[in-house]
Amino acid sequence: MKVLVTGANGLLGSHVVGELLNREFRVRAMVRKGSNLKALQGLDCEFFYGQITNSNDVESAVKDCDYVIHAAARTSQIPSRLDTFYQPNVQSTKFVFDACIKYNIKRFVFVSTANCFGNGTKLLPGNEQNPFPKWLKSSGYAYSKLQAQQMVLSKYEKSKLDTVVVNPTFLIGENDVKPSSGAIFFHVVNKMFVFTPPGGKNFVDAKIAAHGVVNAMLHGKKGESYLLAGENLSYKEFFKKVVNFTNQKTIFFKIPAWLLKLLGFGGDVLEKFFKIPVQLTSTNAKMLCVENYYSAEKAVKEIGFSMIPVQLSLEKAILWFQKNNYIKF
């Protein structure tokens, strides 16, 4: 059996490729020409070089495969406008879905995001029944992934292409070559002063999430979505775990929500009126202030998803960054 993995050289995609190979699937990894393939070094997979936004490339990649896992997406929050995300996140997903229909793929797995569902608290974490938060429509990334997810599930109902959606939370782990979500460690490691936002998020191990993706491919129910979530922690709780592992002396300062939101408003002005891409917008500021917590209960029950403590995940990630000269401590 051959599986196509788009976005195969990314943090999650590379772990999905490794998981598939461990289960003795043949893997075709779709990557862009000239992209960094360090995360796939040593993995016995077939490379297909093409653009996910090119329908001809997508069709050629899908042809002769049995399963397709679509993990490719634009994840950068800069700039935040929806139009910058439409082609890579929505249009590309349509191309992949249509190609799967054309070539009679056994199952299509769409890798979405947990932000397509409403967040919750530690006592009542968000699940697959929670509706998308309306305020996140101003996040080009989150809203584009919601549009893609809704399109996939709508097309599934009409075409009956066997389809499953997975919704990972915030990924941490090895092989974060870019780095992507792993950049969070750079705000803490070797820092004497660390500023902590008032909110928190759900952290999931990238390798464990990849195991969940493949389990969804094999055991997920048609037309269902599965949150791949790990441990819910406030930012301060997570940062403390990091500094305890790196054995550094750090002083924490909590950033008031009002200050973050004020800075986010300033970011909106710079982006809207001066066309200057910024990291902190009002939407991102609000995200840093809320309890962005989720539950993987459904995935545990239906696809055999499992979790490991965040402490183990962050230790693996930090040691990988150290080994590959991203950080020293």
Distance CA 214, CA 273 (A): 44
Distance CA 125, CA 141 (A): 22
Element (H, E) at 65: none
Exposed / middle / buried, residue 150 (Cβ in 10 Å: 0-12, 13-18, 19+): middle
Q: What is the C-alpha radius of gyration for the chain, rounded to an integer number of angstroms? A: 19
Element (H, E) at 146: helix 140-159
SS3 at position 186: helix
Distance CA 45, CA 175 (A): 16
Which residues have a Cβ under 8 Å from the Cβ of 203 and sit 6 or more positions away?
169, 170, 172, 230, 231, 233, 238, 310, 313, 314
The pLDDT assigned to 59 comes to 98
Element (H, E) at 194: strand 193-196
The pLDDT assigned to 3 comes to 98
The pLDDT assigned to 82 comes to 79
Distance CA 239, CA 222 (A): 38
Name the pTM for this structure. 0.97
Q: Which domains does the chain have, with CATH numbers?
A: 2-172+203-230+293-308 (3.40.50.720)
Collect the ranges in the chain with pLDDT lower than 50.
none
The pLDDT assigned to 274 comes to 83
**pLDDT tens-place string over residues 229-273:** 999 999 999 999 999 999 999 999 999 999 999 999 999 899 888
Which residues have a Cβ under 8 Å from the Cβ of 241 and sit 6 or more positions away?
233, 310, 311, 314
Element (H, E) at 37: none
